Amino acid sequence: MRLQSIIVALFSVLAATACTSSNMKETAPQSAQPTDDSGADATTATDGSGPTWHRDVAPILSTQCARCHYDGGLGPADFTDLDTVRALAPAMVGAMEDRLMPPPASDPGCQDYSGSEHLVMSDEDRERFASWVAADMPEGDPTDAVPAEPVKDTLEDPDLVLMMDNPYLPAFTDPANPGNEYRCFVIDATELGGRNIRAMAPVLGANQMVHHIVLFSVPSSTLTEDMLAPGGWDCIDGQNVGTADGMISAWAPGMLPIEFPEGTGMHFEADHQLVVQMHYFYGGSSTDGTSDQSGYAFHLVPEGEPVTPVLLAPAGNFSFEIPAGAAEYTVEDTFENNYVPLKLLGVFPHMHDLGTWFNARIRHTDGSETCLVDGAYSFDNQMTYQFREPIVFDSGDVLDFSCTWDNSEGTEPVRWGERTNEEMCFFFTFLTL
Ligand code: HEC
């Protein structure tokens, strides 16, 4: 099986240890456990002085919404501006109550991620905002203002910045995907060849159109003339790149830079180039005629400094079949660490449009469990979750993972594949020794 050979190859890089097969098994459909917290009790401010913009609301919105809803950001309107928020408040309350915004993400109650505080909105915050709206949205005292910690999604003082050669104007002409376009571009990475990456983050051209980016390392010898054309090529899921083989990073708005611990680094092969898969999103007429020219910035490990390698290894299931009409179909799978003790630094769950829920956890040999990711899935908000502390994946430990899909509108069963009308179930994990 392809996945197994990939994992074996990766593990053999990590440690020259004899490799045994991964233990794949598919189980019957099981109900996922989406935690519906709508009935959970929440506390309301009872100090008699209701919420104000400066003291309560602005900090909530900066933390939960402003990573996308800022001037020039991916989401419409600037939610750090009081007048704007007053005008849009009913829609905002609705989007929060329907759990549409902020877009679904893994529950930080499962694991502590870098930037956890930006991912999931608490019931308390949701209710505080609603009660502020109900009380006619008082501004309050500007001296109460709480300085908000902005999301730092760019890399400071990069050692190397590699950009797309040319600006690209998305056409948004795919009838199967109105308002969305997936385009891949080769970026010359000669300068990155042979180096070890310590940290990386995208450099965005047109922020308001970039929904997510997946970054691949591709052998130069496999690049075709079509791929090297200035306008890039149409690609979903890195088609023609080899989805699982060369992926090195994935980004969505508001994500912090990927950073590996001191003493570790991700090696970039000398005869490889970068391919970026850009997911462009039509942000409304204000972006008509706007081109994008994005790229990636890197911190590099100084030459000659030894590192423990970091690898991005996919765990996945390829043999599922989601029945037509199934509203909630889950495939569960396992991957046992038959190798050396490893540490997990982060994980990137990946499905397509039908994906609704993902879960991954480690079952340790002593019977204890560590939750890695658990949350509602949105194709439009695909994130790499970086653990604040590395998680031990010891010899004998088992990675349990599951993907849940909704095919209730489908008239055909859906299986693994690279096209949007096919599905995937991947957990790409950053591993080190
Ligand atoms: C990860 C990025 C992101 C975050 C975080 C985010 N939004 Fe959005 N939001 C978007 C995008 C993109 C759209 C545009 C269309 C869509 O995908 O629905 C949008 C649309 C909206 C809309 C609908 C606007 C319309 O045109 O009807 C509202 C309301 C909204 N967001 C509120 C919020 C609130 C409130 C928060 C914070 C609690 C939030 N959003 C956080 C990306 C985001």
**In this predicted model, what pLDDT tens digit does every residue of 135-179 receive, in sequence order?**
999 999 999 998 777 777 789 999 999 999 999 999 998 887 788
The answer, yes or no, to whether any atom of ligand 1 lies below 6 A from the CB of 227, is no
Residues whose CB is less than 8 angstroms from the CB of residue 319 and which lie 6 or more positions away in sequence, other chains included = 24, 26, 416
- Where exactly are the structural domains of the chain? 2-30+316-432, 50-144, 160-309
Q: How far is the centre of ligand 1, averaged over its atoms, from the C-alpha of 94 (Å)? A: 11
CA distance 61 to 59: 6
Cβ distance 196 to 188 under 8 Å?
A: no
- pLDDT the model gives residue 147: 79
Ligand 1 centroid to 382 CA: how many Å?
15
Q: How far apart are CA 61 and CA 95, in angstroms?
A: 13
Token pair of 203 as six digits: 């450099």
Q: How far is the CA of 246 from the centre of ligand 1 (A)?
A: 32
Q: For atom 33 of ligand 1, which residue has the closest CA?
A: 101
136 contacts: CB under 8 Å, gap ≥ 6: none
91 lines ligand 1 (CB under 6 A): yes
How far apart CA 194 and CA 213 sit, in angstroms, is: 23
- Rounded distance between C-alpha atoms, residue 261 and residue 308, angstroms: 10
- Does a cis peptide bond (omega within 30 degrees of 0) precede residue 147? no
Whole-angstrom Cα distance, residue 260 to residue 423? 30
* Same fold yes or no, 2-30+316-432 and 160-309: yes
Confidence of residue 245 (pLDDT cuts 50, 70, 90): low
Question: 63 versus 192: which is more confidently predicted?
Answer: 192
| CA nearest neighbour of 424 among 400, 404, 394, 395 | 404
Average pLDDT of every residue of the chain: 86
Question: Domain 160-309 maps to which CATH number in 3.30.70.20, 1.10.530.10, 2.102.10.10, 2.60.120.310?
Answer: 2.60.120.310
- In terms of phi and psi (left: phi > 0; alpha: psi -120 to 50; beta: otherwise), the region of 236 is beta
Pocket flag, ligand 1, residue 210 (CB < 6 Å): no
Cβ partners under 8 Å of residue 101, min gap 6: 65, 92, 95
Distances (CA, A) of 119 to 32, 66, 101, 341: 21, 12, 10, 30
Token pair recorded at residue 231: 């306008």
300 Cβ neighbours under 8 A, 6+ residues apart: 159, 160, 192, 195, 196, 197, 198
Share of the chain above pLDDT 70, in %: 86
pLDDT for position 28: 33
Q: Is the CB of 254 under 6 A from ligand 1?
A: yes
Over range 112-118, report the average pLDDT: 88
Residue 239 binned pLDDT confidence (cut-offs 50, 70, 90): low
pLDDT of residue 242: 53
Tokens of 178: 């109105």
Contact indicator for 309, 393 with CB cutoff of 8 Å: no
CB 166 within 8 A of CB 78: no
Compute the average pLDDT of residues 11-26. Answer: 36
Residue 3's pLDDT band (cuts 50, 70, 90): very low
Given pLDDT bands bounded at 50, 70 and 90, which one contains residue 20? very low
Nearest CA to ligand 1 atom 26: 76
pLDDT digits (tens, 9 = 90+) for 359-389: 999 999 999 999 999 999 988 788 899 999 9
Q: How far apart are CA 357 and CA 340, in angstroms?
A: 30
- Please tell me if the CB atom of residue 102 comes closer than 6 angstroms to any atom of ligand 1: yes
- Tell whether ligand 1 has an atom less than 6 A from the beta carbon of residue 101: yes
Region of poorest pLDDT, from 70-79, 264-273, 350-359: 70-79
Given this model, what pLDDT does residue 240 score?
55
Q: Has residue 310 got a pLDDT over 80?
A: yes
Question: What pLDDT, on a 0 to 100 scale, did the predictor assign at position 42?
Answer: 36
Q: Which fold is adopted by the domain 2-30+316-432?
A: Jelly Rolls (2.60.120)
CA 199 to ligand 1 centroid distance, Å: 28
- Residue 104 CB–ligand 1 contact under 6 Å: no
Tell how far the Cα of 117 is from the centroid of ligand 1, in angstroms.
Answer: 17
- Ligand 1 pocket test, pick from 63, 64, 69, 70 with the greatest ligand atom count within 8 Å of Cβ, gives 69
Residue 75 near ligand 1, beta carbon < 6 Å? yes
Other Cβ atoms less than 10 A from the Cβ of 157: the count is 6
Q: Mean pLDDT lowest for which of 38-52, 60-74, 412-426?
A: 38-52
pLDDT score for 237: 59
pLDDT value at residue 238? 54
401 touches 125 (CB < 8 A) = no
Q: Please report the pLDDT score of residue 24 as a whole number.
A: 32
Distance of CA 71 from the midpoint of ligand 1 (Å): 13
pLDDT, residue 292, reads: 96
Contact 233, 291 (CB under 8 A): no
Would you state the pLDDT for residue 13? Answer: 44
Mutational test site, ligand 1, from 61, 63, 65, max ligand atoms within 8 Å of CB: 65
What distance in Å separates the CA atoms of residue 20 and residue 18, rounded to the nearest whole number?
7
Distances (CA, A) of 101 to 68, 69, 118, 193, 388: 11, 11, 12, 40, 24
Q: Is residue 338 exposed (0-12), middle (13-18) or buried (19+ Cβ within 10 Å)? A: middle
Count the neighbouring beta carbons within 10 Å of the beta carbon of residue 318. 18
**pLDDT score at 71:** 85
Task: Give the number of the atom of ligand 1 that is nearest the alpha carbon of residue 252.
Answer: 1
Q: Name the residue among 1, 28, 74, 12 with its Cα closest to residue 338.
A: 12
The preferred substitution site among 68, 353, 381, 382 for testing ligand 1, maximizing ligand atoms within 8 Å of CB, is 68
Q: What is the mean pLDDT of residues 218-243?
A: 79
Q: Which atom of ligand 1 is nearest to the CA of 118?
A: 5
* 86-111 pLDDT, tens digit each: 999 999 999 999 999 999 899 889 99
